[in-house]
Amino acid sequence: MIPFLELKSTYLELKTEIDAAIATVMESGYYILGPQVEAFEAEFAASHDVQYCVGLSNGLDALHLGLLALGVGPGDEVIVPSNTYIATWLAVTYTGATPVPVEPVEATYNIDPARLEAAITPRTKAILPVHLYGQAADMDPIMEIARRYSLKVLEDAAQAQGTRYKGRYTGGLGDIAAWSFYPGKNLGAYGDAGAITTNDPVLADKVRVLRNYGSRIKYVNETVGYNTRLDELQAAILRVKLTKLEEWNDRRRKIAALYLENLQGLGLVLPQVPEGHEPAWHLFVIRHPQRDDLQKYLGQAGVGTLIHYPMPPHMQEAYAGLNIKASSLPISEEIHREVLSLPMFPHLTEEQVHQVIAAIRRYSQEQPNR
């Protein structure tokens, strides 16, 4: 069996360091907003060439607080990708604003800058591009349009730890960025965790206050805040795992290169990497017109796969109230019918990668008879 994702190896590789980090926190007597969170914030910001990082409890809260810091609220519109994980949309809804979906570029699955202007109205407050699957959205044209229309930009960088765009890391390309350290992300905690990063000290300060009950000084509350803090244990674990991020992303890049080299000519649509993009390969997503059949075949051959995502947000019952017509976002709907994510994690061995490739080759040879 080749699992789609296997996380225990990340712990086993770093067991000595992680166990020591956990013991340090346990013995310190400090469990919320202490030295580990502060150190992780500084180290994560430095690793992505951005000035400020504020540790939070998960990626969804990071998106929510990021939008609040930008001043997004009831009556506003926020432009979001039509194909993303629903968290991107939920954060907009939490603020009282309305998510306005824009279709992706088919080749990259990321929001299409050429379609942005048509979606801008007098109510538009912000654009929320997602670096989907670990490849950066095309930020230069997005920022150019945002500046021209005086819109704010929040990057959803949940899948993009270590992703580079034209030589720069994601996380400092817009006004503010939201990160998730959910266990399966490229940098993952062993529980829920998240953060924002920004180069703007005012935005960082706003999030810092919002995450802690709207309070700067204990029992003095200047705004109606939240409890969305990163905890000391997860911060200590993340500090250890951050030291491996580049090495583990390189490993993902090697796996992606093997897939790309050996899956040509089999009737699949393979991921495309435009000039200047250096994806962190959070996911390796292929497309196939008989996706469900291929997934079933691979499952029987012992290869675990997942679909990111089976249903776009506008087709979820949660968003029935937006009355977005089925078929009004055809690119996104087609993508959702055809995408399949192959096994991708740093501890996947070269032999396992070749087994996945062999299974897909067998499928494409047998397919005319199926």
Residue 155 binds to ligand PLP (criterion: CB under 6 A): no
Residue 130 binds to ligand PLP (criterion: CB under 6 A): yes
| Cβ at position 114, least distance to ligand PLP in Å | 22
Beta strand 220-221 with 52-56 is unpaired
Tokens matching residue 153: 């930009």
Residue 45 binds to ligand PLP (criterion: CB under 6 A): no
Closest-CA residue to 25 (of 193, 211, 229, 238):
238
DSSP β-bridge partners for residue 154: 176
Q: Which of 180, 212, 234, 305 binds ligand PLP (CB under 6 A)?
A: 180
Residue 85 binds to ligand PLP (criterion: CB under 6 A): yes
Residue 10 binds to ligand PLP (criterion: CB under 6 A): no
Q: What angle do CA 309, 184, 78 make, to 5 degrees?
A: 50
In terms of CB distance, is 50 or 158 closer to ligand PLP?
A: 158
CA atoms within 13 A on the CB side of 198: 27
Query: Which one of the spans 30-38, 84-92, 206-214, 344-352 is the region binding ligand PLP (CB under 6 A)?
Result: 84-92
Q: What are phi and psi of 342, to 5 degrees?
A: -85, 160
In terms of CB distance, is 63 or 294 closer to ligand PLP?
A: 63
In terms of CB distance, is 194 or 225 closer to ligand PLP?
A: 194
The number of residues that bind ligand PLP (CB under 6 A) is 15
Tokens matching residue 127: 């654009």
Q: What angle do CA 205, 209, 214 make, to 5 degrees?
A: 150
Closest-CA residue to 124 (of 78, 155, 156):
78
Query: Which one of the spans 81-89, 99-107, 163-171, 271-279 is the region binding ligand PLP (CB under 6 A)?
Result: 81-89
Residue 182 binds to ligand PLP (criterion: CB under 6 A): yes
Q: What are phi and psi of 180, to 5 degrees?
A: -115, 140
Q: 14-37 burial, b if ≥16 CB within 10 A, otherwise e?
A: beebbeebbeebeeeeeeebbebb
Dist CA 65 CA 56 (whole Å): 9
Tokens matching residue 282: 């959070």
Name the residue whose CB lies closest to ligand PLP.
Answer: 59
Dist CA 55 CA 178 (whole Å): 10
Q: Which secondary structure element, helix H or strand E, spans residue 106, and what is its range?
A: none
Q: Which of 55, 59, 66, 104 binds ligand PLP (CB under 6 A)?
A: 59
In terms of CB distance, is 258 or 307 closer to ligand PLP?
A: 307
Dist CA 338 CA 307 (whole Å): 9
In terms of CB distance, is 53 or 60 closer to ligand PLP?
A: 60
Q: Which of 93, 135, 159, 170 binds ligand PLP (CB under 6 A)?
A: 159
Residue 88 binds to ligand PLP (criterion: CB under 6 A): yes
Q: Which of 54, 67, 87, 303 binds ligand PLP (CB under 6 A)?
A: 87
| Cβ at position 97, least distance to ligand PLP in Å | 17
| Cβ at position 53, least distance to ligand PLP in Å | 15
Residue 280 binds to ligand PLP (criterion: CB under 6 A): no
Site for ligand PLP in 184-203 (CB under 6 A): 192, 194
Residues that bind ligand PLP (CB under 6 A): 58-60, 84-85, 87-88, 130, 156, 158-159, 180, 182, 192, 194
